[in-house]
């Protein structure tokens, strides 16, 4: 069984921890010489250091309850505190919990939180920040922060889905990637490494920009006068499409009946894009699949004046 098949098999197995899967992805990243993929696997396997940005799927919502005491023995126990108040009195950093733990630790937290259903976080400093502010006449005695087990499971699923989507796209785009095994083989060609990095940037990091051999450049600003086909084609050329492809797609958009703001592409443009997106995956276009779809959609919106 090759590496990609092993990874797919483990991901589709019921109740599989992700840590063993990541070890195989780490080998795959090394065999295909993909720096961005290797870096992501390293952080997921060993944890995110304090100076490394945390992916959005690792920023988990926190819910708070608190106990307050007042005059003449009065008090409020387990009172929920709205996130808006936490943000106002303590700062935005208390709204989201950055899960920097390794994926093995996340797997273990999910197992250990089966009974309680939550993960408790340290809120000792928050007591001082909220003192006398939530209920002015009451003292804040205790604050408890909860990260739900469901949020941890969603994090785990986000990693799984990214790995699965990556290997599926890799298998479709680079047939020879299916031949990679645990045993050391021949070094991949520069084009294979480039396409692998392209797919990793799009699937793992969700990059919205042109990606070529791991170099990311923004293409988000599309300036088109409504109805100007020449400007439309120029904007498509700027994404890294060939002249022929930009003209073909521009003609399809221009001759189509526009859709709505949510789905501006008509039948001809949608069909053309579906048939040609493989050029983004294979590296023929200097832009990834996600970025290509986004830029084309934005270009159509502006061309149609939507």
Closest CA to 131 of 47, 215, 35, 67: 67
For residues 237 and 227, give the distance between their C-alpha atoms in angstroms, rounded to a whole number: 17
Q: What is the pLDDT of residue 100?
A: 92
| Radius of gyration in angstroms for the set of CA atoms belonging to the chain, rounded to a whole number | 25
Tokens 């197992």, located at residue = 111
SS3 string, the chain, reads CCHHHHHHHHHHCCCCCCHHHHHHHHHHHHHCCCHHHHHHHHHHHHCCCCCCCCCHHHEEECEEEEEEECHHHCEEEEEEECHHHHHHHHCHHHCEEECCCCHHHHHHHHHHCCCCCEEEECCHHHHHHHCCCCCCCCEEEEEEEEEEHHHHHHHHHHHHHHHHHHHHHHHHHCHHHHHCCCCCCCCCCHHHHHHHHHHHHHHCCCCCCEEECCEEECCCCCCCCCCCHHHHHHHHHHCCCCHHHHHHHHHHHHHCCCCCCCCCCCHHHHHHHHHHCHHHHHCCCCCCHHHHHHHHHHHHHHHCCC
pLDDT tens digits along 53-93: 888 889 999 999 999 998 888 889 888 998 889 999 988 88
Identify whether the C-beta of residue 48 lies closer than 8 Å to the C-beta of residue 58.
yes
Q: What is the pLDDT of residue 212?
A: 34
Q: What is the pLDDT of residue 44?
A: 93
Contacts of 262 (CB under 8 A, 6+ apart): none
Q: How many alpha carbons lie under 13 Å from residue 269 in its C-beta half-sphere?
A: 27
- Give the bridge partners for 123, in sequence order: none
Closest CA to 187 of 32, 29, 39: 32
Residues of the chain with pLDDT under 70: 114-117, 181-191, 205-223, 239, 262, 277-292
Q: Token pair for residue 220?
A: 């988000």
**Cα distances (Å, whole numbers) of residue 298 to 217, 258, 265, 272:** 17, 13, 10, 16
Q: What is the pLDDT of residue 204?
A: 79
For residues 13 and 20, give the distance between their C-alpha atoms in angstroms, rounded to a whole number: 12
Q: Token pair for residue 113?
A: 């939180």
Q: What is the pLDDT of residue 52?
A: 85
For residues 173 and 278, give the distance between their C-alpha atoms in angstroms, rounded to a whole number: 8
For residues 275 and 265, give the distance between their C-alpha atoms in angstroms, rounded to a whole number: 14
Closest CA to 18 of 121, 164, 207, 204: 164
Closest CA to 90 of 44, 45, 121, 52: 121
């Amino acid at each position: 069984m090759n590496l990609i098949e092993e990874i797919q098999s483990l991901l589709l197995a019921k109740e599989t921890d992700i840590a063993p899967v990541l070890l195989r992805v780490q080998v795959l990243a090394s065999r295909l010489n993909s720096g961005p993929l290797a870096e992501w696997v390293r952080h997921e396997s060993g944890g995110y250091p304090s100076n490394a940005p945390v992916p959005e799927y690792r920023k988990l919502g926190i819910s708070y309850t608190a106990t307050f005491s007042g005059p003449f023995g009065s008090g409020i126990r387990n009172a929920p505190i709205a996130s808006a108040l936490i943000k106002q009195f303590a700062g935005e950093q208390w709204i989201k919990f950055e899960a920097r733990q390794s994926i093995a630790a996340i797997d273990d937290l999910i197992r250990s939180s089966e009974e309680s259903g939550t993960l408790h976080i340290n809120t000792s400093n928050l007591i001082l920040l909220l003192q006398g502010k939530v209920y002015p006449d009451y003292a804040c005695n205790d604050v408890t922060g909860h990260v739900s087990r469901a949020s941890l499971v969603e994090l785990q699923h986000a990693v799984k889905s990214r790995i699965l989507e990556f290997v599926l796209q890799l298998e479709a785009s680079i047939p020879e990637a299916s031949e990679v095994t645990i045993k050391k083989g021949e070094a991949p060609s520069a084009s294979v490494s480039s396409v692998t990095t392209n797919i990793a940037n799009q699937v793992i990091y969700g990059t919205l920009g042109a990606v070529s051999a791991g170099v990311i450049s923004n293409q988000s600003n599309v300036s088109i006068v409504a109805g100007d086909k020449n400007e439309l084609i120029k904007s498509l050329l700027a994404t890294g499409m060939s002249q022929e492809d930009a003209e073909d797609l521009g003609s399809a958009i221009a001759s189509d009946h526009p859709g709505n703001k949510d789905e501006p592409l008509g039948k001809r443009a949608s069909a053309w894009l579906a048939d040609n997106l493989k050029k983004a995956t294979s590296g023929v276009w200097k832009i990834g699949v996600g970025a290509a779809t986004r830029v084309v959609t934005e270009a159509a919106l502006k061309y149609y004046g939507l």
